[in-house]
Amino acid sequence: MLHTRRSFLGTAALAASAAASTPALLPTALAARPAAPPPRIKFGISTYSYWHFKTERVPVETVIERAATLGAEGVDILHRQMDIPEKEPLTAEHRGVLRRLKKHAFRHGIDLICLSIHQDFVDPRPEFLAQQVEHTQKCIEIAYELGIPCIRLNSGRWNTIPDFNDLMKARGVEPILPGHTEDEGFKWCAESIQRCLPKAEQCGVLLALENHWGLTSTPAGLLRLLDAVPSPWLGALLDTGNFLEEPYEKLEAVAARAVFVQAKTYPGGGEWYTLDLDYRRIARLLQKAGYTGYVSLEMEGKQDPEIAVPASLKMLRRAFRSSV
């Protein structure tokens, strides 16, 4: 009996000690919950930041090396800046160039994140549109070869102002081609994008339609095309510098559809125009839209890129960090 009593008292003492050292459990509704992490944003650099068509071409490999030095995660390649012809069909030699470029990026710890290409789907000539579709399909193959997950897509424009400098003086607005309507332009463009989608899905390459000059120069135009061709392989590319008036409201209108973002800066004044963009505000609206992914710097200023690109990248990092 004495042994049993002592065992009971010992057990009770241990239980009391354990209870005293264990914090009381809160009801589930009151338990502290970790704050949701902010959307994950990575930063890339567009090769265009180092070459604005007006000087000797800067090799893509050089930009990859600069990006690695600056601690950027990715490089967004301008197609016209590559060491392969823009319009010719892909050859075995061209594919060799692409594989060497892919290896160069890998060895420098850089992701290749977008291929920014040029095409024009606003034209009444079926043979011309067929050429543009074929060109886009070739570019999808280039992206696939490089391991790039998306390409920049243009809607195209009417080309009634042939010279790009004159188009910029007109703030990107040009007359519709005589004898045709805006609805026709949207029809040609939507049908051409639709013809590119099977290749995009086959290669696993997203088509990112940019708010560029022409049909997508307004949120309504960009959304009209995205809605006309519903596909998980088509989304929006938000260029922060291509809505020249009231940019924040317009960017917010399409931010939820974004799959890629290009962020323009203008140190030393822009090549064609200059915008004073509030990147903290832009970061907040992208966060509100739930955007996650890459923000690619497009430095379009006249300042030496060796100075302007590092400063712009630092500014973007600071803006997105402080917006959380």
Q: Give the C-alpha separation, 67 to 44, whole Å.
A: 8
pLDDT at 38: 63
pLDDT at 37: 62
pLDDT at 20: 43
pLDDT in tens, the chain (324 residues): 444 444 444 444 444 444 444 444 444 444 455 665 666 899 999 999 999 998 999 999 999 999 999 999 999 999 999 999 999 999 999 999 999 999 999 999 999 999 999 999 999 999 999 999 999 999 999 999 999 999 999 999 999 999 988 998 888 889 999 999 999 999 999 999 999 999 999 999 999 999 998 999 999 999 999 999 999 999 999 999 999 999 999 999 999 999 999 999 999 999 999 999 999 999 999 999 999 999 999 999 999 999 999 999 999 999 999 865
Is there a contact between 242 and 212 (Cβ–Cβ < 8 Å)?
Answer: yes
**189 DSSP 8-state letter:** H
> Which domains occur in the chain, in start order?
37-322 (3.20.20.150)
Q: Give the C-alpha separation, 50 to 66, whole Å.
A: 10
Q: What would the two tokens of residue 312 be?
A: 């712009």
Query: Residue 4 phi/psi, 5° resolution?
Result: -65, -40
Beta bridge partners of 296: 44, 262
Residues 6 or more apart whose CB falls under 8 angstroms from that of 153 comprise 117, 119, 136, 193, 196, 207, 208, 209, 210, 237
Q: What would the two tokens of residue 189 be?
A: 């463009």
CA triplet 87, 88, 90: central angle to 5 degrees? Answer: 120
Question: Whole-model pTM?
Answer: 0.87
Structure-derived torsion over alpha carbons of residues 236, 240, 241, 243, reported in degrees to the nearest 10: 70
Is there a contact between 185 and 215 (Cβ–Cβ < 8 Å)?
Answer: yes
Query: Residue 105 phi/psi, 5° resolution?
Result: -65, -45
Q: Give the C-alpha separation, 258 to 235, whole Å.
A: 6
Residues 6 or more apart whose CB falls under 8 angstroms from that of 183 comprise none
Q: Which helix (H) or strand (E) holds 27?
A: none
> β-strand 293-299 against 41-46: which pairing, if any?
parallel
pLDDT at 39: 63
Instruction: Please name which of 45, 47, 41 lies closest in space to residue 263, comparing C-alpha atoms.
Output: 45
- Residue 239 burial (10 A CB sphere; 0-12, 13-18, 19+): buried
